Amino acid sequence: MRIVAWLLLACGCAAPAGAMAAAEATVRAGERTLTVAFDGSDARVDVSGVSQGYLLLRDGRLYSVMRMNGSPVVLDAQAAAGLLGGLAWKPSPRMIGSLTGLEPTGARQTVAGRAGEVYEVSYRDLEGRDHSGQGVLGRQPEVRALTRILGQIAERLQTSAQAPGQGLEQVSRTLEDRGLGVLAYGPEFRVEKLTVAPLAPGRLDLPAPPSELPGDLGQWLRRPAAR
């Protein structure tokens, strides 16, 4: 859930652009590394430490893809949220509730080979506490496209978790108005690599039709952890 928290903090939907070439990015988010492959509005996100599943954004819908007995099982985000339960999907209280400031410092920094501007960011979290930090924002089309994809995924996860969405929407509007994408935010979020190149055929395809949760899979995932 910490990964989702930082996505909600650092990413929003950048302004819609024209056709964008396919690309793949490596992103450090909290303690995890995300591999994000995207082409237009479709994307796949693999998370380090999760070998048997990934997220797939396809035709505007978010799916969780996992393997069971060697076969893929595709669930929509709402079903996955219900499966994991409210505790696993509870938003961090440090998530952004409202953006209170986004001002350029005049400094510049290169991240993942892209020149960016350093901004001072201030926000109020879901519990009303004030925070501040620095982020690196870029105007390159591929940076904005990556930000848009991660923001869309974060928004759909947030909706599935029935978490407050005002802060994310405000960040989305601000980035849209300024034509910016996120390259880094403090030590919590950083694009480490971003390559614009065609993806392997079928990389973003659904591996199976979306289905209801198989009963034996639900029982296995809900079983108590061994003590």
Which pLDDT value is given to residue 17?
43
In a domain, 196, yes or no: yes
pLDDT in tens for each of the 227 residues of the chain? Answer: 344 444 545 443 333 444 567 999 999 998 889 999 999 999 999 989 887 789 999 998 999 898 878 888 898 876 665 554 443 445 567 778 889 999 999 999 999 999 999 999 999 988 899 999 999 999 999 999 999 898 888 878 777 666 665 677 788 778 878 999 999 999 999 999 999 999 999 999 999 998 765 544 444 444 444 44
For residue 114, being part of any structural domain is answered with: yes
Does some domain include residue 227? Answer: no
Is 27 within a domain?
A: yes
Closest CA to 80 of 218, 206, 207: 218
Is residue 25 a part of any domain in this protein?
A: yes
Question: Has residue 20 been placed in a domain?
Answer: yes
Nearest to 109 by CA among 168, 18, 58, 184: 184
Specify the DSSP class assigned to residue 147. H
Residue 102 pLDDT: 94
- The whole domain housing 189 covers 2-221
Residue 77 forms part of a structural domain = yes
For 22-164, strand residue ranges (E) read: 23-29, 32-39, 42-47, 53-58, 61-68, 71-76, 96-111, 114-125, 130-138
**Separation of alpha carbons 112 and 125, rounded Å:** 29
In a domain, residue 226? The reply is: no
Number of domains into which the chain is organized? 1
CATH number where 156 lies: 2.50.20
AA identity, residue 78: Q
